[in-house]
Amino acid sequence: MISEAPSVEPLRAGVIGLGYAGEQHLKNYARVPGVEPVALAGLERDRLRELGTRYGVPDLYTSWEDLVAREDLDIVSIGTPNHLHAPIAVAALEGGRHVLCEKPLARTGEEAQQIVDAALAADRAVHTAFTQRERGDVQALKRHVDEGNLGRVYHSKATWMRRNGIPGMGGWFTSKELAGGGPLIDLGVHMVDMALYLMGGPEVESVSCATYAELGPQGRGGWSGSGLMRGDNPYEVEDLATAFLRLSGGATMTLETGWAVYRESSDDFGVTLYGTEGGAEMLVRNYGTSNTVRIYTDVAGVPAVVMPEIEPREGHYAVVKRFVETIHSGDWKGQHGEDGLDRARIIDACYASALQNREVSMEEFRADR
Ligand SMILES: NC(=O)c1ccc[n+]([C@@H]2O[C@H](COP(=O)([O-])OP(=O)(O)OC[C@H]3O[C@@H](n4cnc5c(N)ncnc54)[C@H](O)[C@@H]3O)[C@@H](O)[C@H]2O)c1
């Protein structure tokens, strides 16, 4: 007799948000095995219909509350402005859904804590879409670090810098209330996450940060190609942030993240690692995927540079696939949004340091509530 593998019903996903992020979630629920997108919500009616047709989503909503109220969903995926992450996630978790949330998990550590608490109470999974750490080059570099080729990594430099890259000028991205901050919470959260991940997960012990708002408030530095939700609201967030972080084990990190700065006209991010046995630099220019990594080592006693050929990998695909596999596995212990919460507290500490003009200890932001 031929025994058949037990058939597993596909998980039913609902996606909220129709911008770049929402579409990435939708596209990958349509692509990854073991899941299907069955509901979609967003405010832009034409785009809602267009995406619904393109990805074969039967049920469309203009209110996130209506989507979350459905009782037949396994997954709620959040690709909305940051101020809605916590209310949507908590409502979905209280209804018994698993949640995939865009970065940042929330505007503040306090809101992120509410999400983690709700996930623990409901025993549901929360993953934060830290998509950049899933890139092929970051994963290859991570394997290199884990194999011990850099020795002990004692310093990193993380940057994400743009010349004219303020997303959705005058819309939610540039509102302190709706976004929680500027490039620090938008791009910096990716880079802090990536650098800590590559360094093997040291704890942040203290932070000294400065923020600037020089070009945005003058209406300069806007990015023409991004964000569905623009507007005429005043520019309220930083356009550049720089920080020095002390890490456990004596290591350190510098962070520089800007949406609009007089520099080369490009959109570049990267991480540099200095280790006791080797160094590495990853520099991604304009979202390119080739020739991004350089490894610094010694060969026969002289300095050598290795440029590995790395297969590209799409971040959102990897995030959605891991999330779906986690839910099918039935084991999501320790996956209630804890990493998103940790990063949210680090961003809180950076903003507090900038506001108070002093170095702040993470103890002040990690106290158990
Ligand atoms: N991981 C990544 O690579 C990545 C990339 C871009 C954006 N993001 C994150 O994704 C989120 C969304 O960013 P975006 O660029 O797609 O934004 P966007 O402005 O392009 O789209 C926001 C969407 O949210 C919807 N929305 C707003 N209020 C709503 C409501 N009350 N009910 C239902 N829908 C509502 C809007 O209709 C819109 O479709 C942000 O948190 C951002 O930080 C992550």
Report the atom number in ligand 1 closest to the C-alpha of 42: 34
Task: Report yes or no: 177 and 282 within 8 Å, Cβ to Cβ.
Answer: no
Mean pLDDT of 328-340: 97
Structure tokens at 117: 């608490």
- The pLDDT tens digits of the residues spanning 139-153 come to 999 999 999 999 999
Instruction: Look up residue 2 and give its DSSP letter.
Output: P
Q: Which helix (H) or strand (E) holds 26?
A: helix 20-31
Ligand 1 site-directed mutation target among 28, 43, 131, 133, most atoms within 8 Å of CB? 43
Distance CA 368, CA 56 (A): 44
Mean pLDDT of 271-288: 97
Q: Residue 275 — left, alpha, or beta (φ > 0 → left; ψ -120 to 50 → alpha)?
A: beta
Instruction: Look up residue 84 and give its DSSP letter.
Output: G
- The pLDDT tens digits of the residues spanning 207-237 come to 999 999 999 999 999 987 655 667 788 999 9
Q: Which residue has the tokens 């590209």?
A: 312
CA nearest 349: which of 183, 109, 103, 173? Answer: 109
- The pLDDT tens digits of the residues spanning 291-330 come to 999 999 999 999 999 998 898 999 999 999 999 999 999 9
- Overall pTM surpassing 0.85 (yes/no): yes
CA nearest 22: which of 367, 316, 346? Answer: 316
- The pLDDT tens digits of the residues spanning 23-42 come to 999 999 999 999 999 999 99
- Do strands 267-275 and 279-285 pair parallel, antiparallel, or not at all (unpaired)? antiparallel
> Using a CB cutoff of 8 Å and minimum separation of 24, what contacts does 262-267 make?
262/163, 263/161, 263/163, 264/163, 265/163, 265/164, 266/162, 266/163, 267/161, 267/162, 267/163, 267/165
- CA–CA distance from 175 to each of 35, 230, 294 (Å)? 35, 11, 38
Structure tokens at 303: 């300095």
Q: Whose CA is nearest to atom 33 of ligand 1?
A: 42
* Cβ of residue 39 lying under 6 Å from some atom of ligand 1: no
* DSSP string for 292-344: -EEEEEEETTEEEEE--------HHHHHHHHHHHHHHHT--TT-BSHHHHHHH
**Average pLDDT of the chain, as a whole number:** 95
Q: Which helix (H) or strand (E) holds 366?
A: helix 363-366
* Cβ of residue 182 lying under 6 Å from some atom of ligand 1: no
Q: How remote is the CA of residue 54 from the centroid of ligand 1, in Å? A: 19
Task: Report yes or no: 50 and 76 within 8 Å, Cβ to Cβ.
Answer: no
CA 329 to chain centre: 23
**Backbone Cα Rg of the chain:** 21
* Cβ of residue 22 lying under 6 Å from some atom of ligand 1: yes
> Using a CB cutoff of 8 Å and minimum separation of 24, what contacts does 77-80 make?
77/13, 77/14, 77/15, 77/16, 77/22, 77/25, 77/29, 77/101, 78/16, 78/17, 78/102, 79/15, 79/16, 79/17, 79/18, 79/19, 79/21, 79/22, 79/23, 79/24, 79/25, 80/16, 80/17, 80/22
- For position 270, what pLDDT does the model report? 98
Q: Is the pLDDT of residue 366 over 80?
A: no
- The pLDDT tens digits of the residues spanning 106-131 come to 999 999 999 999 999 999 999 999 99
* Cβ of residue 16 lying under 6 Å from some atom of ligand 1: yes
DSSP 3-state of 253: strand
Distance CA 338, CA 54 (A): 34
- The pLDDT tens digits of the residues spanning 74-110 come to 999 999 999 999 999 999 999 999 999 999 999 999 9
Q: Which residues are 296's β-sheet partners?
A: 279, 305
